[in-house]
Amino acid sequence: MTDLCLFCGIIAGTVPSVKVAEDETTFAFMDINPGSDGHILVIPKRHSKDLFEIPDEDLTAVTLAAQRIAKAAVAEFGADGVNLLNCCGADAWQTVFHFHLHVIPRYLDKTKDRLVLPWQPGTPGDLEAIDTLGSRLFTTLDGQLSEALE
Ligand code: AMP
Ligand code: ZN
């Protein structure tokens, strides 16, 4: 619980919200600026700033709750698909610094759906850069795994 955190305020009930689900570890409510009809946020009750800070058990619980809520939302609202989104860091569009997963139902009917991708899917990348970055990350992750096993 952080006094200045908007989402901690929602969990405490001092900030109003439209609740859609709650369990021991997680809380889910409607997003006030929905990207599509039925846009929901799923959060851990325990405060964590972001993806890098959230403990394993809270991340697991939020992800499983988001899956359950996504299935129910698609069925209930007659959506054609759903996006899960997490923003980690201000430069990655995070605006509220209490970890949350967006559950965004998607519709062929664009009167219900205002989401557009910020890049053009299918634009070919630089194969050399893809290979270089992938190899660098593989080496780093492989090294971390070896260290953990030592
Ligand atoms: P992000 O940009 O990923 O940090 O997402 C923060 C989300 O919180 C945005 O989609 C906002 O519309 C939503 N939001 C902010 N304040 C509230 C609120 N009081 N109730 C519900 N959703 C909110
Ligand atoms: Zn918080």
**Using one digit for the tens of pLDDT, what is the confidence trace for 28-57?**
999 999 999 999 999 999 999 999 999 999
Question: How far apart, in Å, do the first and last CA atoms of the chain sit?
Answer: 37
Which pTM was predicted? 0.95
- 99 near 45, Cβ under 8 Å? no
Q: Is residue 137 part of a domain?
A: no
Domain containing 61 equals 6-119
Q: 51 in ligand 1 pocket by Cβ < 6 Å?
A: no
Q: Give the total number of structural domains in the chain.
A: 1
Q: 93 in ligand 1 pocket by Cβ < 6 Å?
A: yes
Q: Is residue 42 part of a domain?
A: yes
Residue 137: predicted pLDDT:
98
Q: Is residue 148 part of a domain?
A: no
The token pair that represents 122 in the structure block:
């299918």
Tell me the CA–centroid distance for residue 16 and ligand 1, in Å.
Answer: 13
Q: What percentage of the chain reaches a pLDDT higher than 70? A: 99
Residue with the smallest CA separation from ligand 1 atom 20 is: 32
**Which residue out of 32, 42, 83 has the highest number of ligand 1 atoms within 8 Å of its CB and is therefore the one to mutate?**
32
